């Protein structure tokens, strides 16, 4: 997608793959990581206090697909990095640029459409996940507009996924140790 976009006259800055203001990108990355990190930790702790039968579909899915061993955890780090880079480039890079061009420079249209498509890609998380992913997409699009770069969103996206994965790993390990006792 990057190659075709550049071949069609889009430059790295238009696609968000440049970092025109490194200090702003770094500060925004740290702020996003703090915000989403705290949010993930809070929601995982809240989830861990619920009885297993009340955790719902997504918690059960997460328990099955998140890492359970050190080897799976290493693979998960690679997966989280790949997902963060690819999703941010596709939705906040390519789709954002395409929609912005189609709507004659409208960052609002680009933000809404890219966030909507990002949310639809997470439909497996059901209604609540769809809504929260849409909001996260809005935040990431806003950060792209503010910084001119996808870097802060990539870093925050990866950290959020890593916290979710390792929290699920820890939660699963705690449940297994309770079953053994």
Read off the pLDDT of residues 148-170 as tens digits, 9 standing for 90 and up: 999 999 999 999 999 888 876 66
What local confidence, expressed as pLDDT, does residue 130 receive?
A: 92
What local confidence, expressed as pLDDT, does residue 69 receive?
A: 83
Label residue 40 by pLDDT band (50, 70, 90). Answer: confident
Instruction: Please say if the pLDDT value at position 171 is more than 90.
Output: no
By C-alpha distance, which of 142, 161, 150 is closest to 25? 150
**What's the CA gap between 69 and 57, in Å, rounded?**
22
- Using only the alpha carbons of the chain, give its radius of gyration: 18
Angle at 40 between CA 35 and CA 45, to 5 degrees: 130
Please check whether residue 162 is in contact with residue 80, taking contact to mean a CB–CB distance below 8 angstroms.
Answer: yes
**What's the CA gap between 81 and 155, in Å, rounded?**
9
**What's the CA gap between 116 and 164, in Å, rounded?**
22
**What's the CA gap between 147 and 24, in Å, rounded?**
6
DSSP tag of 106: -
What local confidence, expressed as pLDDT, does residue 82 receive?
A: 97
Label residue 88 by pLDDT band (50, 70, 90). Answer: very high
Q: Which residue has the higher pLDDT, 58 or 22?
A: 22
Ramachandran category for residue 96: left, alpha or beta (phi over 0 → left; psi -120 to 50 → alpha):
alpha
Q: Above pLDDT 90, what percent of the chain?
A: 59
What local confidence, expressed as pLDDT, does residue 180 receive?
A: 47
Structure tokens at 1: 């997608």
Instruction: Please say if the pLDDT value at position 3 is more than 70.
Output: yes
The string of pLDDT tens digits covering residues 118-151 is: 999 998 888 888 999 999 999 999 999 999 999 9
Q: How far is CA 113 from CA 46, 49, 150, 152, in A?
A: 32, 36, 17, 20
Mean pLDDT for the chain overall: 88
Q: Which residue has the higher pLDDT, 26 or 123?
A: 26
Write down the pTM of the prediction: 0.85
């Amino acid at each position: 997608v990057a190659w075709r976009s550049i071949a069609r006259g889009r430059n790295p800055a238009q696609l968000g793959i440049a970092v025109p203001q490194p200090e702003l990108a770094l500060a925004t990355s740290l702020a996003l990581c703090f915000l989403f990190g705290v949010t993930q930790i809070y929601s995982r702790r809240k989830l861990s206090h619920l009885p297993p039968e009340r955790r719902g579909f997504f918690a059960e899915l997460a328990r099955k697909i998140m890492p359970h061993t050190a080897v799976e955890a290493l693979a998960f780090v690679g997966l989280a990095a790949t997902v963060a880079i690819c999703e941010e480039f596709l939705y906040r890079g390519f789709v954002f640029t395409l929609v912005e061009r189609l709507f004659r420079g409208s960052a609002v249209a680009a933000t809404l459409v890219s966030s909507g498509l990002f949310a639809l890609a997470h439909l497996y998380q059901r209604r609540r996940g769809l809504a929260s992913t849409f909001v996260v997409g809005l935040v990431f699009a806003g950060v792209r507009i503010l910084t001119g770069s996808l870097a802060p969103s990539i870093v925050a996206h990866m950290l959020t996924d890593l916290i979710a994965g390792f929290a699920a790993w820890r939660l699963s390990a705690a449940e297994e140790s309770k079953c053994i006792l």
